[in-house]
């Protein structure tokens, strides 16, 4: 209920980006979910958005990873279905129904270091491995400053900028037909010069 009030106040103050989450279920018969359901019906909270720029269609969706769900035990009547299954469904919809060129997952899943000491595992990586229709994973939850993109399945970049808005990430991709490649990726520190 508190989250619905906060999002609602922001939306009334002016346009805000859609809140995207494909694996949050607000359908329980619980009065505390009325505000969230109303925001969903109004399109403020959505499963995904489609953005077209320069003739390229981008499908953007959000998921809450399994590890992050540990911290949602106070979410009351909200449940979080499996993020991989939800991602498969929404990525298929984006490809087949919305006809997007690039599928971007905003994942609150996180990354972890593998046995070699490099970031190569975690929910964000597992999502890219399990759902090949995803072209880019922009991750969160672990607050990791990834200085280079993690390339999953030889094609899907997983990126993350750290925490507390200290950086803005810049990912430049190129498309050759359906083949996506990373042209550049870097973090820009946020400081008084910006």
* Per-residue pLDDT, 34: 94
* For range 54-59, the mean pLDDT: 95
Give the pLDDT band of residue 75 (cuts 50, 70, 90).
low
Query: How much is the pTM?
Result: 0.93
* Per-residue pLDDT, 148: 95
- What is the average pLDDT value for the chain, to the nearest integer? 93
- Percent over 90 (pLDDT), the chain: 81
* For range 96-101, the mean pLDDT: 97
**Nearest residue to 66 (alpha-carbon basis) of 118, 112, 27, 29:** 112
CA–chain centroid gap for 71, Å, is: 17
Give the pLDDT band of residue 64 (cuts 50, 70, 90).
very high
Instruction: Please spell the DSSP secondary structure of 82-134, one letter per residue.
Output: -HHHHHHHHHHHHHHTS--SEEEEEEE---EE-TTSSEEESHHHHHHHH-TT-
* Distance of alpha carbon 146 from alpha carbon 87, whole angstroms: 23
Between 32 and 91, the more confident residue is: 91
* Per-residue pLDDT, 193: 82
Up-side HSE of residue 118: CA atoms within 13 Å toward CB? 8
- What does each C-alpha distance from 160 to 62, 129, 141, 164, 171 come to in angstroms? 14, 17, 9, 12, 10
Q: pLDDT tens-digit profile of 157-191?
A: 999 999 999 999 999 999 988 789 999 999 999 99
**Res 74 pLDDT > 60:** no
Q: pLDDT tens-digit profile of 120-141?
A: 999 999 999 999 999 999 999 9
* Per-residue pLDDT, 21: 94
């Amino acid at each position: 209920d508190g989250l619905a009030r906060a999002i609602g106040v922001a939306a009334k103050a002016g346009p805000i980006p859609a809140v995207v989450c494909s694996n949050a279920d607000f359908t329980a018969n619980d009065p505390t979910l009325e505000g969230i359901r109303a925001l969903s019906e109004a399109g403020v909270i959505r499963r995904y958005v489609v953005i077209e720029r320069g003739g390229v269609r981008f499908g953007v969706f959000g998921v809450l990873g399994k590890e992050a769900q540990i911290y949602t035990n106070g979410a009351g009547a909200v449940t979080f279905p499996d993020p991989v299954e939800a991602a498969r469904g929404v990525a298929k919809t984006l490809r087949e129904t919305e006809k997007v060129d690039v599928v971007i997952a905003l994942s609150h899943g996180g990354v972890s270091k593998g046995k070699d000491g490099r970031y190569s595992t975690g929910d964000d990586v597992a999502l890219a491995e399990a759902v090949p229709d995803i072209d880019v994973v922009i991750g969160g939850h672990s607050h990791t400053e990834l200085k280079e993109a993690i390339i999953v399945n030889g094609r899907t970049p997983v990126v993350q900028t750290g925490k507390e808005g200290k950086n803005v990430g810049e990912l430049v991709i190129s498309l050759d037909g359906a083949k996506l490649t990373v042209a550049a990726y870097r973090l820009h520190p946020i400081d008084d010069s910006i």
